[in-house]
Amino acid sequence: MEHTLHVGHTGGMSPPASCDRIDRGGELFYASAKKWGMGNMETDTEGAASDSTMRERVGGQKFIMQLLGVREAQGPRSRSHRFFGRHVFRNTNAYGVFWQAMARKSVADSLMELGPGWAVFHDVPVRGADDAISHLVVGPGGVFVITSWASFRQDVWVGGRTMRVGGATVFVLPSAEDLAERASNALSVGAGLKIRCEAVVVLVDPGQVTVPISPVAVKLVHSENVLVWLRDRPQILDKETVQLITAAAASPGTWSDDEIERVSPGTVLDGFSSILLDIQDRQRVRGNWKIARRVGGWILLLVAAGAAIPVMLAFMPR
C-alpha cells in the first residue's frame, strides 16, 4: 500500500540533502528527543468533557503516524541496509515530514513549561482544513493557534503574507491565518461566546530571519522565545472564560463531525522513538564507513608507496 506524504502547505519546498542527519538542528532537537511529555494540562477545567481524546494528542502526531505508516508499508530494513547505513525511508521525502514532526514535538515540549492557568492541545484537526493545528494554547493572554515550522537552518524572508525559506516560497502564513479563523469559529460555537484566536507561526531552527514587511494577521516568534512571548501577553481572559474555552477545546465535537481517531500517546511516542533510533543508528554507521574509507585510502597509499620503492631503487644509479 502506497503512503502519500504531506507536510502541510510547503509550496513544493523540500528539505536540504543533509536533513536526514539527526544532529541537524543542534541541541534543540536533542533536548526534544529526551522529553516525551504530553503537554501542559495543569489548568483547572471543571466541567470539561470527560473524553480525553483531544488531551492525549501528541505534538506532531499527524506526521508521526504518517511516518509509521510509511515504515510499515516498506517493511523492516534488511541486514544489508543496516550494515551499509542505507536510508531509513526509501522515499527520502519522508525526512521532510520527520523534521516537521520534530519541530512540533520540540515546541510542544517547550509549551509544557507554561504552568498553571494555561491549557495546551496538540495536532488539533479542524473541520474543513487541510492541516491540523500544531498547538492550541488557551490562557489569560488569549487563545493562540500556533503553527510550528522547521526551517532546516535556512534563511527565512517574510514580506506581508509571503514567506520564503531558503529561497523557496512556503504557504505557511496564509495557512496559519486560515487555521486561526476556523478555530475561532469552532470554539465560538463550542463555547457559546465570541472567541478570536490569534495566529502565530513559530520558527524552529531558522537561519537569518529578515522581515521587511511584518505580516498583519500572523505573529512570527522564534521557538526559543515562545514561552516568554506567551507569558508577556496582557491578560484579556479571566479564569472562568479560560475554563469555558478549554472545555470546548477538549470536546472532539468542537473540531469534527466525524469521530476523531484516538491513539495511545505511548504508541505514538514509542513509534517515533524507534524511528529516531533508526536514524541515529544510520548516522553512526555512515560515520563509521566514512572513517573506514579514509583509513582504507591511507592504507592503499602506503601499500602503493611500498610497492613503488623497490622499482625506484632499481632505476637509481649505483
- pLDDT at 56 exceeding the cut of 80: yes
Per the domain annotation, does 2 fall within a domain? no
Per-residue confidence at 180, pLDDT binned at 50, 70, 90?
very high
Per the domain annotation, does 271 fall within a domain? yes
Per the domain annotation, does 113 fall within a domain? yes
Per-residue confidence at 97, pLDDT binned at 50, 70, 90?
confident
Look at 13-17, 89-93, 143-147, 148-152 and tell me which has the smallest mean pLDDT.
13-17
- pLDDT at 8 exceeding the cut of 60: no
Q: Which of 308, 310, 140, 155 is nearest to 239 (CA)?
A: 140
Q: What percent of the chain has pLDDT over 90?
A: 44
Per the domain annotation, does 206 fall within a domain? yes
| Mean pLDDT score of the chain | 77
Per the domain annotation, does 301 fall within a domain? no
Range of the domain at 95: 17-291
Per the domain annotation, does 173 fall within a domain? yes
Q: Which of 85, 24, 5 is nearest to 288 (CA)?
A: 85
| Mean local confidence (pLDDT), 158-165 | 94
Q: What is the pLDDT of residue 292?
A: 55
Per the domain annotation, does 119 fall within a domain? yes
Q: Which amino acid is located at 273 in the chain?
A: S
277 vs 298: CA distance, rounded Å: 32
Q: What is the pLDDT of residue 285?
A: 61
Per the domain annotation, does 8 fall within a domain? no
Q: What is the total count of domains within the chain?
A: 1
- pLDDT at 283 exceeding the cut of 80: no
107: cell is 515546541
Residue 67 vs residue 155, higher pLDDT: 155
